[in-house]
Each structure stands twice: as structure tokens, then as C-alpha cells.
Chains A and B, each alone.
Chain A
């Protein structure tokens, strides 16, 4: 009791001594970058396992890849990073990388071809969620000894099961799963043959500009410079990413100068900051699409005319100009803008007359009950309520089924939804990442359980011709031809598919006026802290 009394006395003393208790405007130290973001999705930092947005943001700054994007010139596409050069064999099945010298892990060891061999093999053998990005080239845990081989310390040879477009393969290697880890460090922490997986979940051993110093789940990630980083010394020596759920809180912190960057502001809060001279807002087009899709197992929704009516009865511009203002742009094709072959045509617009006409031509002129599955995020609930509003005007009885992310996803994968309102972000910066899921379904039977494919989840038997075109585009090495193939594919998809693609994400990052070169990663990659100055 005595101790506690003393404690209270001290607390009261401090309280009165520091009369205005709030920190008068603070400014973040010049060599430190403080970011507010929602990072509650981080589960692991292990590149063989990490598959979340916030995880990719960390990974990009910690692990280097064989090839990567230059943050200040994202449009240029991938370029050399750990691999200084590469060549492809005459039969198109073998790619040989020359590993650059001088790159060092945060442990001080130099990066060699052995580390690259280990990291890629490891991702295949561990077979975690992102492994499909590599295994789609025919790598299996059984054959990696032959297909992923370091012939010496500087040479790595990949042998594919058939010739693919080189750009497709290299684009995939820029994904998080292509991150190269320190083999000796990982194996030193191996437990029960996990190749260091348990340790790498919470620790990092990469050659990128930063290393993770502390991670408190749902609270913060703290990164310091990798002391052995080979490139020019980044201006930001310490990066703190703080988990702040609420947009209003992020805004207050930013306008007070407690943070440098706020990454999840609502349109209203962005508008509220417009007049603040100390704050600027940088827009960046990201790869995430917002769409609804109709389960083809449902007799009502399998009628193409009904789906057409629903597409006409969607208030694209109304949403984009009100509660999504500035954060989503209307986009109606499955490849996000800035991707190779992205299609900018918008054949659908809000037109209730056309919608009614289409419905009248269908076998269900009175529409019927439609349940929209949506996860409990405000933005999506708003979109769902708008769909409910306009579709009801057609005479459909629309009900919203709101659930947690896992609940809605569970129903979706089990093909039990009517209409699913969802978002889709590309897994790697190649058009096939979306074509292969929106426009490809080799086996529509329940037993096939192709739960990774959106077309399968909606029980959409993709026409044979479209399946073939999707596969053909992957092996086409002529870039112009490849682009044309995707444009054609998307036009057809827009017309006949049960997907109502509505919007593409624009990320509005608000930051203090002195922050420069903050690049969130565009549609293709993640954030890059090492180029930031202030």
C-alpha cells in the first residue's frame, strides 16, 4: 500500500508539474521515419511464408531479390539486384543468373549463389501459401536438387518444365517469396527440419537496406539500417511503423507532427487535411481491384442476362465520387492499370433503363433473393449497401451477409455465396497473376477443389477458348503480341464473365511536407523506405 501511495503522489506531482500534459508539437527526428499504418495482418516475416500487404512492406526493405524494381522508376520494370546479369538457353527452359559481388547480409556474410539456391529451394520445400508463385514453373520438393542449382558461388541455374515468357519468370522472382535469406543464419536456427522457419517468422536475415529490430504484433515494427548494406547509405536510419487502426487518429497524429506519414486516411480525413500547409497528399495507383462476383451455382445468377442487368445497375461513378472519392477509380477489367496489357475501356455504366431491359429479357424478369457476402470493413459495407440500394430498384430482394474476413472467405471457397463482394490484389507483377485466376478454370467440378482460382470459386466454367488463350499468353515471348492477347482476353471477360469488376485502388498517403520520395510501390511492388529523405 505504501509503495502505491508513493507512486500516486509521484504521478500527481508529475501531472501538476507538466500542466499542459500533451506534448507540445513534437517533430520526428531528422533521421527517423515514423509511419502510421494498419499492420495487424502481419503474421510472419519469413519470405517463404509471408503473404500479407504489411508483410510485403517489411520484406521489400529487408530482403533483396535476384531481380527487382527501382522505386524511383517503377515503370522501367524489373532490373538487376542480386543478379547482375542472366541469360536464357536456346530451348527457353534454362535461365542462368550471375550473382553480383559485394552484397552483404545484416549478419555480415556475403551473399552467394548458395544462399539464392537455398532460399528458392526452401520456399518450394516448405510449401507455404506463396510457394505456388515458384512451383508454377514445375519446381517440386522432389526435383529442386536438379532444377534449382548453384554451380559455383557466383552462378545460379534454374531449369523450368517448359519455356515460359522470360518476363513472366523474372516478374515472379520479384515477389516477396523470391527474397534471398542468409543460409547459414537460417540453418543455425533450424528446429525439427523447419529450415529456420520458426526463427525467421520473427527475425530477419536479409541483405536489404534495413533489418527488423523489434516487432510487437498489432503494435509496431521497428527497423534499423543494415550496417553491411552495400548501396548508398539511406537517409532514414530508423523506420517505425506504428499500427493505428482509426483514420481520424492517423490524421490527428499527422497534423500534430507526431508521425511523418499516414497511410490509411479516409476520403473525409484527406479532405480535412487539404488546407494544412504542413501536410501533402501523394496519390499512387495500386494493384488492388474491387469486384463483385456471382456464383454460377445459383440458377438466378447463372442467367447471363441477370448478371448483365446487375452490371448496369451498379452506380460506379456515384460511389467513386462520394464515399470512395479519391481512393478508388472506376476500372472494369481484370488487369490493373500500369500492368502489361491493362485495358482502360469501361463498357458498363450506371443505367437503370438498360438494367431493366436486360432483366426483362432474362428468364427471371422479377429477379429474386440475392445475398451479398461482405466482410466487416466499413468501405466494403458501404459499397455493398449501395449495390443493395440500386439492385433493389430492379425488384431483387437483396440481403447483406456481413462476416469477419475468415467467415466470408470460408463461404466463398466452399462456393456457398450468392454474390461475393471482394478485393483482389496481384500476387506478383505479371498479368498472368490475375488472368490465371479470373479467366482460367480447367475443372469446374466440386471435387477439383481449385479453391485458389476465383473462376472456380464462382463455379464459372470458363469457356475452353478462354482457358487456352490464358495459357497461350504465358509462353508468348513477344511483348507486343502478349499485350494484344491480354487486351482481347479482357474484352471478352468483361462481356461474358460473372465478375462485376468496379474499381481500382488509389492509395492516398498523407505526409509531412518535408518528406520526399515516399513510394508506396505502385501496382507492382511494395513500399521502399531507403530512398526517402526529409
Chain B
């Protein structure tokens, strides 16, 4: 993205007077990127996330063992034991290989939640904000109800109702995570709704559905993206928490939270079984926090000035 930028493109992006809307928008993003690049911590976060993605994609090639292959004779061996970089777990499976394959699950969960929850929030928030009246009252009351719920318990209840598993965990997390997005989207919609350009579009005969989808949604997206990045760490931690309670990914799947849960039994004598996946979760959610912090500094100057 950065290194391949040709001089011509760079000049186009940094043009003082953009000639099209697309160029203006691209230029704004590019300038944001330049600012973000100056933020060391955010770049570290980004680097970790890229590394995670690479690991997830190349897991089958990077792994030294089959993540599911058991060897009951070689169980609970310490890190470094005969080619097991991080040792083996209680069924003699290679922890390093499981960790790599687990990265896929974490990424999968994060991507799915990042798609579902903001989409749901966006839909509810913009409809409430644009329609107003009793629809607004009703939808916002619903939002309040979901906000008042103990979140982990709500997610637990959903998973218990839907059955344990990754997809259901994603759905449960999304169902508990949407209310803040709905509030943001509604607030943005309220300001956009009464702006001149929307009035103009309305006069041209555009229907509400078209206005919301074509003109309101694109403007809400940037604030949602920042919020989602900041929430990512929380999503990973919640997913791991569900896995820890046995309600997320199911065995023998190498989900990190589930790996900690399996390893806690051996904590006293075989510390690495639970510690290594714990460090993995910590690293990834720290990376998301660093990146999210940087993004907020760039795109929300008011907050960052504080």
C-alpha cells in the first residue's frame, strides 16, 4: 500500500485542488495514512496484525505438526522438546501448530463480528434517526434494553440457546455489541438528515430508502470503522472468554480461549499449556488497541487533543 505508491499517484493524492469527489475522498484517506504512519505505536500494532494475518494464511505451511494429531506418549512436554517449539498439550498435540491454526479462528471471529455488529447497528441507528417519531422511540428503547443487559451473560444466554460453536459465538457477540453502533449511527444521521445536501437530494425525488443507503450510510462509515477497531480487542477477549467457558469453538478446535481452558488444569506443573495461548491473545488484542488508539488520534482530532 505504501511502498508501491508511484510518484504520479502520490501527486494525485496530494493535489491541492482535487478534481473529483473520489479524488478528494482518496486524498483525505491518504493524508490520514501519512499521519498514522508517523505514530510508532500504531505502526507496531499494524505490524503485529499483518503478521497475524500472514500466520493465519500460511498456517498449514508454517506449522511443524498436524494441529489435531495426538500422541499420548508425548503429552505435556515442555517448550523446545524434540521439535515442539512451544511444547505439547494434554493429548500430546503440538502447541505451536495449534497456535498458528488458532490464529485463523481468531481472525475469522473478528472479521465476522466486525461485519455483523456494525451492520446491525448501522441499520437500526439510521432507520431510527431518519424515520424519527415512534419508530425512533421504539428502536432506541430496544437499544436501551440491550445496553442494560450484562453483556457477557447475554452472550452466554444466546450461546446456550443457540448451541455452542464459533458461528453462534459470533452471532451472540454481535447481538450484544450492536447498541453502541446504533447510537453512533443515529447521532450521525440526525445531523446529516437536516443538512442542505440531503434536502436537495430529497427535492430531486429520491426516496427514503435511497437516501439512507446511498447518502447517509457512506457518511456514517468512517466513525463506525474507528469505533470497531477500538472494540476489536474487546471482541477478541469476549470470544476467548466464551471459549474459556466452553461455549465458543468446540474441541478439538485450537481456539485460544479454549486452549487456556484446557491448560488451566495443568497450570501448576505444566505452565506453558495455558500461558502460551494467553500471551497470544494478549498480543493480538494489544495490537488492536494500539492501532485503534492511533486511528482515533488521526481521525478524531478533538479526542486526541485531550
Contact = CB atoms under 8 A, between A and B. Distances in A.
Q: Do chains A and B touch in the complex (CB under 8 A)?
A: yes
Interface of A: 246-248, 251-252, 266, 268-269, 271-272, 315, 318-319, 321-323, 376, 378, 381-382, 384-386, 388-389, 400-404
A322 B164 CA distance: 28
B10 interface: no
Contact of B246 (A271, A272, A323, A376): A376
A267 to B, nearest CB: 10
A404 B159 CA distance: 12
B269 A381 contact: no
B23 interface: no
Interface in B110-164: 160, 163-164
Contact of B164 (A319, A385, A402): A402
Given A321-B72, A382-B90, A385-B252, 10 more contacts: A248-B268, A269-B268, A272-B268, A318-B72, A378-B262, A386-B91, A389-B70, A401-B250, A402-B164, A402-B250
Nearest to B164: A402
Contacts of A389: 68-70, 91
Contact of B72 (A247, A251, A319): A319
B163 A268 contact: no
Contacts of A246: 264-265
B251 interface: yes
B68 to A, nearest CB: 7
Given A248-B265, A378-B265, A386 B70 contact: yes
B76 to A, nearest CB: 8
Contacts of B250: 400-402
A382 B268 contact: no
A404 B157 CA distance: 13
Nearest to A269: B268
A389 B252 CA distance: 10
Interface string B150-187: 00000000001001100000000000000000000000
Contacts of A376: 246
A411 to B, nearest CB: 11
Contacts of A403: 163-164
B251 A381 contact: yes
Contact of A388 (B92, B164, B252, B270): B252
Contacts of A268: 76, 265-266, 268-270
Contacts of A381: 251
Given A318-B72, A322-B75, A382 B91 contact: yes
19 contacts: A248-B264, A248-B265, A269-B269, A271-B269, A272-B268, A318-B72, A322-B72, A322-B73, A323-B72, A323-B90, A382-B90, A388-B252, A389-B69, A389-B91, A402-B246, A402-B250, A402-B251, A403-B163, A404-B160
Contacts of A400: 250-252
A322 B246 CA distance: 23
The 8 lowest CB-CB distance pairs between A and B, nearest first, are A322-B72, A376-B246, A318-B72, A389-B70, A248-B268, A385-B252, A402-B250, A272-B269
Contacts of B70: 385-386, 389
B265 A247 contact: yes
Interface string B64-94: 0000111011011000000000000011100
A327 to B, nearest CB: 13
Interface of B: 68-70, 72-73, 75-76, 90-92, 160, 163-164, 246, 250-252, 262, 264-270
B72 A386 contact: yes
B210 to A, nearest CB: 46
Contacts, number: 64
Nearest to A390: B70
Contacts of A319: 72
Contacts of B266: 266, 268
Nearest to A401: B250
B262 A315 contact: no
B25 to A, nearest CB: 47
A403 B262 CA distance: 16
A248 B250 CA distance: 24
B67 to A, nearest CB: 12
A395 B121 CA distance: 45
A384 B70 CA distance: 12
Nearest to A388: B252
Contact of A385 (B73, B75, B91, B246): B91
B66 to A, nearest CB: 11
A272 B160 CA distance: 36
B91 A323 contact: yes
B120 to A, nearest CB: 27
Contacts of A248: 264-265, 267-268
A327 B293 CA distance: 51
Contacts of B69: 389
A344 to B, nearest CB: 24
Contacts of B68: 389
B78 to A, nearest CB: 14
Nearest to A376: B246
Contacts of A251: 268
B197 to A, nearest CB: 53
A51 B213 CA distance: 60
A245 to B, nearest CB: 11
A391 to B, nearest CB: 12
Contacts of B160: 404
Nearest to B246: A376
Contacts of A247: 265
A315 B92 CA distance: 14
A318 B269 CA distance: 21
Nearest to B253: A400
A381 B251 CA distance: 8
Q: Considering residues B69, B76, B265, which has the most beta carbons from chain A within 10 angstroms of its beta carbon? A: B265
Contacts of B164: 402-403
Contacts of B92: 322
Nearest to B266: A268
Contacts of A386: 70, 72, 91
A465 B238 CA distance: 56
Contact of A266 (B73, B91, B251, B265): B265
A524 to B, nearest CB: 30
Contacts of A315: 72
B287 to A, nearest CB: 30
Contacts of A384: 251
Nearest to A375: B246
Contacts of A388: 252
A132 B265 CA distance: 38
Given A247-B265, A322-B75, A376-B246, A385 B270 contact: no
A400 B250 CA distance: 8
A100 to B, nearest CB: 48
A92 to B, nearest CB: 52
B265 to A, nearest CB: 6
Contacts of A252: 268
Contacts of B268: 248, 251-252, 268-269, 272
A271 B90 CA distance: 14
Contacts of A321: 72
A365 to B, nearest CB: 24
Nearest to B262: A378
